[in-house]
Structure 1
């Protein structure tokens, strides 16, 4: 089995037990998680000596974060594969903003050797399946293609968690129909990756022999090793009133299974699969969704399970790298004497001499393009921000939110991930000389629709520092209209308890509010960034000089 976990209601996967000492330790070893931020539903591949990782991004744009590594432990954000969410649906545009926690779910990245092309397939729970492709994952990705059914119709609502396998001269597509009680289907896929070629074969359903679950498979992964086909999934089950997640894996020499008499299954007459499953266990942040990848190291071939931790918390769903071995053709998490259990600390890196890398956070906005760590909440108005109008600054123009004073309905809100450290300080410098009547602009923590921030508000010709949240606006102080520059500072600890400060000289900071409990929400962890809107008219702007994020 993949994990042999204690069958206990108190079993928790405490990603914080090492208090922020995550990733590369600088001594040839690493601690889990290797990415202590919100990289949910990951998928990973190796192409040559390079590893590429992708994850869900929901309603954030550009979508589909792409990361790169040479050692599986240290990662850089190199791209976002979906430039424009409106190529999926107009619901994700700035003038609608329908779909918090929806849009891009559980993507799959593959590399087709026949045409040297990278593909990312993904689902949205309301719209169906889609695909983007490129020959250079560091460069430009294609426009979005919709994956259609064999009759040319859309998959539409109710599907998620797809996986693709390029298999010699064939291609296959696995997906879950959650609208039909989470049934899992296997389809043949066209060579260009845009059309399934049949109506699909049911490979798993709730309460069948493969796993006695109330819900069928999610987190689908389909891969081939040593001539065998492997279907890796997880699913949910209720134990003592709590919903828990369970991993299981199926395999066969034939992709359609084998009959009891040893003959291969077919599309019209599928066979059965060998299978194993972990014990049902309640764990708040169980390692449960990701993919298996090999590493060609100086010591030989090693195998790993790259997984997120389930149950969204303040840091979202961070990712861990678990060593595994193949035993009798089954992947078993194992490191030293530890087998089938979560492995947290002092793990040998696949490549001991590799350089430590931390994903990007600070930004001085000196480039004419936004860094790849940045994403807008929904598709932004392209004419309402600029990095060239005033070189060295990010200019955000203000326009009306969909609902007055509701930040979650304000377009052009810009965010980046936070990471789980013991101590964190983010400082941002705002030039507010261009602000107009009715405008609000500030530094924001956000997780989906949940938010907490500090801002400058212009009301009746007067200027205020305010603390804002989903349901409150608290005036901290009024200040003179002659002030042209404001610095905002946010501090938060390992448990994401936050304090806000402000300054008019960049040196002396005054407290605004403390003991704010940040949280995860809408399948998102805590992000930080900027917002800007005007309740009255489309007028005013702020220039942001920099954000500096310091963590230890």
Structure 2
């Protein structure tokens, strides 16, 4: 059977913080490659590389051309690209995913996972969460949520056999994320079930054939945090990988909610890593720990703790960094790094953040407590910095006509929370998020009751506070402090997390730099 996990090393979870859901991983030699869902954002399907399964660096996006990724202009939030799988076979990388906006699976290939990736080959089949596996005879097996299995020719998108119903878990709702693995003469089928929230769970079965019959594992589910008080919840959508030293590991998604009951998660579903050991031919998985140092023996040999996650973009390159994403499209005419060298120039394509079609370049919020700032020359435009979940859930600080204002949109409500004159010339705007004090002092007097702050009897039970600041000659000025729970999945719904976006809604504007750092 597979070797036990190694000793030595520590690591921290999540290994990919922020909106990085539905991870899939493969190893080629000493290198590991991982992809995640991207939903309505372009470029699609970020591709990461690691040498230790802990420290990941984005090396590209698998769907980085309009002819690979067609998203209709009216694509709703949290549609688009779902649940990719990455595999390596016969000298090529294969990535399969579903464009739910078109109702089609697509396959792209590459010799170099950094790209370029090929034009798509389509499979018009139902369900989502497609995965590929090859047997010793060269047959390619496609599994989808359901759980359904097909024998296909992935080169041309031809179905040769199927659908065949195999094993769909232990009875939980939404059996999904099926992955087939050939290990020591057995075919293992790992599925998630229970829905991608607090009921999420991972189960396993095995068979001598990829078509079954499958024998369920004796200790299913092999991983779930449902019904527990663990800080990481919604654990599921798992993929297995064998490390260079023979140990086995699982990548999976989870959420880290904050606040009083009910808690709220704002970063989206994140990517976690856990060790796997084998007992009597079955995988055994330990619970997922949060971002704290792990005991010796819990990490790939030689792994180091990840960096702080801080970065700064001075827009000095001729292309945008891989981390930058845009909702639905990013027309070439809407942005430029050469029009004003050293600045990112944006040209308005839409007049409001409340509807699709706006010009925005965004990066994922990856820490609960963080600060992000920009230096902005608005010119004669309307431009600013937004903390966004979707068109109906965002907080913005923007400059126009010599005025800086903070605007909030939550569901059907839109409100201006603050306004003040903007300094002349380029301005520096900042958005910061900080965890709230969940247990403020008890009100004991009429004077305290009349004091500014939370309404009487209302505790700040949300996830965090969102603080907007303007830099002035006298130092930073706080413009507004807003409750962060309204920019959470529990309020907005959907499958994504927050992003921090640079935008323009009238004329043009230029951004000198963007600085992000955890606090």
TM-score greater than 0.5 by the shorter chain: yes
Unpaired stretches in structure 2, ≥5 consecutive residues: 1-7, 258-264, 436-462
Post-superposition shift, 1:137? 1.0
Q: Specify the alignment match of 2:13 in structure 1.
A: 32
Find 1:199's aligned residue among 159, 162, 165.
162
Find 1:367's aligned residue among 296, 317, 325.
317
Post-superposition shift, 1:315? 1.4
Q: Specify the alignment match of 2:171 in structure 1.
A: 212
From the superposition, tell whether residues 341 and 476 of structure 1 become closer, same or farther in structure 2 (CA, over 3 Å): closer
From the superposition, tell whether residues 85 and 310 of structure 1 become closer, same or farther in structure 2 (CA, over 3 Å): farther
Q: Specify the alignment match of 2:446 in structure 1.
A: none
Post-superposition shift, 1:455? 0.2
Q: CA RMSD in A?
A: 2.6
Could you report, residue by residue, the CA deviation over 1:66-88 in whole angstroms, capped at 9, with x for unpaired residues?
11111111111111110135644
Q: Specify the alignment match of 1:440 in structure 2.
A: 382
Corresponding position: 1:383 with 2:330:
no
Find 1:341's aligned residue among 263, 272, 287.
287
1:71-110 map, 5 Å:
71-84=52-65, 87-91=68-72, 96-110=73-87
Post-superposition shift, 1:134? 0.7
Unpaired stretches in structure 1, ≥5 consecutive residues: 1-26, 148-153, 177-182, 258-270, 334-339, 535-539
2-structure distance, mates of 1:122, 1:311: 26
2-structure distance, mates of 1:166, 1:358: 39
Q: TM-score, normalised by structure 1?
A: 0.77
Find 1:189's aligned residue among 125, 142, 152.
152
1:91-490 map, 5 Å:
91=72, 96-112=73-89, 114=90, 116-126=91-101, 127-147=103-123, 154-155=124-125, 158-168=126-136, 169-176=138-145, 183-192=146-155, 194-204=157-167, 210-213=169-172, 215-236=173-194, 244-257=199-212, 271-276=213-218, 277-278=220-221, 281-282=226-227, 285-297=233-245, 301-309=246-254, 313-333=265-285, 340-344=286-290, 345-347=293-295, 348-352=298-302, 354=304, 356-357=306-307, 361-401=311-351, 405-421=352-368, 423-433=369-379, 435=380, 439-449=381-391, 450-458=393-401, 463-470=402-409, 471-474=413-416, 476-479=418-421, 483-490=424-431
2-structure distance, mates of 1:369, 1:496: 34
Check whether the contact 2:386–2:501 (CA below 8 A) recurs between aligned residues: yes
2-structure distance, mates of 1:222, 1:310: 25
Post-superposition shift, 1:236? 1.8
Post-superposition shift, 1:159? 1.6
Q: Specify the alignment match of 1:13 in structure 2.
A: none
1-structure distance, mates of 2:250, 2:130: 18
Secondary structure at 1:292 match in 2: strand
From the superposition, tell whether residues 343 and 513 of structure 1 become closer, same or farther in structure 2 (CA, over 3 Å): closer
2-structure distance, mates of 1:65, 1:531: 22
Post-superposition shift, 1:353? 5.6
From the superposition, tell whether residues 476 and 410 of structure 1 become closer, same or farther in structure 2 (CA, over 3 Å): farther
2-structure distance, mates of 1:198, 1:510: 65
Check whether the contact 1:361–1:373 (CA below 8 A) recurs between aligned residues: no
From the superposition, tell whether residues 360 and 108 of structure 1 become closer, same or farther in structure 2 (CA, over 3 Å): farther
Find 2:502's aligned residue among 526, 530, 540.
530
Instruction: Give the aligned length.
Output: 457
Check whether the contact 1:386–1:396 (CA below 8 A) recurs between aligned residues: yes
Post-superposition shift, 1:243? 6.9
Corresponding position: 1:514 with 2:491:
no
Q: Specify the alignment match of 1:7 in structure 2.
A: none
